[in-house]
Amino acid sequence: MPLGANKAAIMGVAGVSTADVVLLQTLNADESANLSFTSGIDSTYGEYIFAFYNFHGSDDESPTFHVSIDGGSNYNVTHTSVTAYTYQYESNSSQNFSHLSAVQQATGFITLQSTTGGATAADNSSTGYVHLFNPSSTTYVKHFLCFGTGQHPNGSFNSLYGGGYFNTTDNIDAVQFKMGTGNIDTGRVKMWGVK
């Protein structure tokens, strides 16, 4: 994510632009089933960045996201993606870097980070981002990159790196974030447009 001259736009008020990055919207969770961006995703920008902050679920679950081509009525666009996963235990008892998953032509929500939250881990949360490229193209599939990091209820620190594409030439016009199960107890998501 570019900083420098764009820092004020990144950290500032929605709609304020100092260069090529414009903060468009912020959604806050308070026992929310999901956080959905159903407006503002159009041909104005070639890239959209979604950053999620301190997601804590009501269950021990993973934060996920998906996109829609019908204004948010359905989040089931076919995608192909791959993710890699790292972890390190606080006790230094174990660490690893591994390929986590690869999916081909699936329609389910995409995992952004390993399990976090729940009553057994009140101080756990997840933070990360999604980059969505050219969502309004009617010629090409829509590529994305994602990253999530946070603390697992088992006492390990986790990071997940992923990317892929949504196999559609229709306009992507909505993006939703939610936990695998249960509500988002706390957290927020910000959406930026990149010129």
Q: Could you read off the pLDDT of 65-124 as tens digits, one per residue?
A: 999 999 999 999 999 999 998 888 777 777 777 766 788 999 999 999 877 766 667 778
Of the CATH numbers 1.10.3470, 1.20.1630, 1.10.287, 2.60.120, which one belongs to the domain with range 26-194?
Answer: 2.60.120
pLDDT band for 152, please (50, 70, 90 cuts): confident
Mean pLDDT of the chain, nearest integer: 87
Output 38-41 pairs: Cβ under 8 A, ≥24 positions apart. Answer: 38/68, 38/71, 38/72, 38/173, 38/174, 40/191, 40/193, 41/132, 41/135, 41/136, 41/172, 41/173, 41/174, 41/175, 41/191
CA distance 102 to 72: 25
Per-domain boundaries in the chain? 26-194
Radius of gyration over alpha carbons of the chain, in Å?
16
What is the predicted pLDDT for the residue at 174? 98
Classify residue 6 by its DSSP letter. Answer: G
Residue 1 has pLDDT above 50, yes or no: no
Question: Which stretch, 51-65, 146-160, 169-183, has highest mean pLDDT?
Answer: 169-183
